[in-house]
C-alpha cells in the first residue's frame, strides 16, 4: 500500500475526531495486520472506489461507540440503538469522505460507498489476500482503530 494512500486517512481521522469531540486524538503506531477477525464490538465499513480502491474499517468497543455517538449527536445514548448506529456509520462516512478529498488533491480521485455497520466481537470481515494497514486513535471517550485495505486501481 502506498504511503500516499495512508497519510490522508490519518490526517482526516484526526481532523474529524478533534472537530466532533472537541479534543485531540493521539495516533498510535502504524502496523500491518493479516487477520480477518475484528477484535472490537462495533465496526463501520466504508468502501473506496476510483483510482484508489478498497475498504476502510473503523473499529471500537461498544462503550466507545455509545460515547462517540453521544458526543457527536449531542444527546446521551444508553445503548447502541438505531440512531446511535447511524451516528457511528456517519463518522466513518465523514472521515473517509474527507480522506477522499485529500486523496483527490494528491492526484488520486476517488469516491466512497455508503457505510455499513458490523456489530459483534470476533466477527470475520475478510479482505482476502490483502493486508490491512492499521493505526489506533486514542480519544478521551475511547480508542478508535482504523484499518485500511487499499490499492491503486
Of 41, 66, 57, the C-alpha closest to 120 is 41
Q: Cα–chain-centroid distance for residue 70?
A: 17
pLDDT tens string, the chain, 153 residues long: the values are 677 899 999 999 999 999 999 888 999 988 888 766 666 899 999 999 999 999 999 999 999 999 999 999 999 999 999 999 999 999 999 999 999 999 999 999 999 999 999 998 777 777 766 778 999 999 999 999 999 999 999
Q: Is 103 exposed, middle or buried (0-12, 13-18, 19+ CB in 10 A)?
A: buried
- Report the SS3 class of residue 30: coil
Q: How many domains does the chain have?
A: 1
Give the structural domain span for 115.
3-152
| Domain CATH number, residue 52 | 3.40.1550.10
Q: Report how far residue 51's alpha carbon sits from residue 69's, in angstroms, rounded to the nearest whole number.
A: 32
Query: What interhelical angle do 82-105 and 3-21 show, nearest 10?
Result: 130
pTM (two decimals): 0.93
Amino acid at each position: 500500500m502506498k504511503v500516499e494512500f495512508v497519510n490522508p486517512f490519518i490526517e482526516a481521522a484526526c481532523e474529524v475526531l478533534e472537530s466532533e469531540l472537541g479534543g485531540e486524538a493521539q495516533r498510535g503506531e502504524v502496523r500491518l495486520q493479516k487477520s480477518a477477525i475484528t477484535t472490537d464490538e462495533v465496526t463501520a465499513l466504508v468502501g473506496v472506489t476510483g483510482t484508489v480502491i478498497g475498504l476502510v474499517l473503523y473499529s471500537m468497543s461498544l462503550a466507545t461507540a455509545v460515547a462517540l455517538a453521544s458526543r457527536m449527536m449531542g444527546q446521551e445514548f444508553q445503548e447502541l440503538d438505531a440512531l446511535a448506529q447511524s451516528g457511528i456509520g456517519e463518522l466513518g462516512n465523514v472521515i473517509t469522505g474527507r480522506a477522499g478529498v485529500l486523496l483527490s488533491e494528491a492526484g488520486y480521485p476517488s469516491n466512497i460507498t455508503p457505510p455499513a455497520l458490523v456489530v459483534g466481537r470476533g466477527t470475520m470481515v475478510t479482505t482476502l489476500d490483502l493486508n490491512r494497514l492499521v493505526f489506533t486513535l486514542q480519544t478521551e471517550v475511547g480508542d478508535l482503530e482504523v484499518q485500511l485495505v487499499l490499492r491503486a486501481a
